Amino acid sequence: MAALSIDLYDGEKRAKIEALQWKLGQELLRQGATVIIEWGTWTRSERDTLRLGAKALGAEVELHYLSAPLEVLLERVERRGMEKPPLKREDIEGSLRVFQEPTAEEMACFDHSHTISARA
């Protein structure tokens, strides 16, 4: 989005870009290619939609969940320095309240899954 000079916080444009990426991703899956979804799939329903869509195309589906405490997230965002305006603690805390961490039950729905935990 930054490369296209699109505001990272423009939810409508973000949704359109993600829909286009998923459309292209599905075409690649039909051709037998590997596709990595790297945008935030914050809720189980988002992850279910992608998993079921990929499975319907015959793809194996993996979930790699990277877990990090708030302090690690803050430090990484500050070091990266890409957000304009800069993210604040309250922004990340708000995002964490919305995020649905994958459960063991959900992880079992994938062909392969694992969690990586970052420590402070």
> What pLDDT, in 10s, does the model give residues 31-89?
999 999 998 899 999 999 999 999 999 999 999 999 999 999 999 999 988 887 888 99
The answer to whether residue 111 scores a pLDDT higher than 70 is yes
Q: pLDDT confidence of 120, banded at 50, 70, 90? A: low
What proportion of the chain, given as a percentage, has pLDDT over 90?
78
DSSP label of 103: P
Beta bridge partners of 116: 66
Residue 73 lies in a domain: yes
To 10 degrees, what angle do helices 11-30 and 44-56 make? Answer: 30
Assign residue 53 the CATH number of its domain.
3.40.50.300
Where does the chain have alpha helices with state H?
11-30, 44-56, 70-80, 89-98, 104-107
Q: What pLDDT score does 95 carry? A: 92
Residue 3 lies in a domain: no
Q: What pLDDT score does 17 carry? A: 94
Closest CA to 73 of 41, 118, 106: 118
pTM of the predicted protein model: 0.86
Residue 5 lies in a domain: no
The answer to whether residue 102 scores a pLDDT higher than 70 is yes
Please give the tally of structural domains in the chain: 1
Q: What is the residue range of 65's domain?
A: 11-117
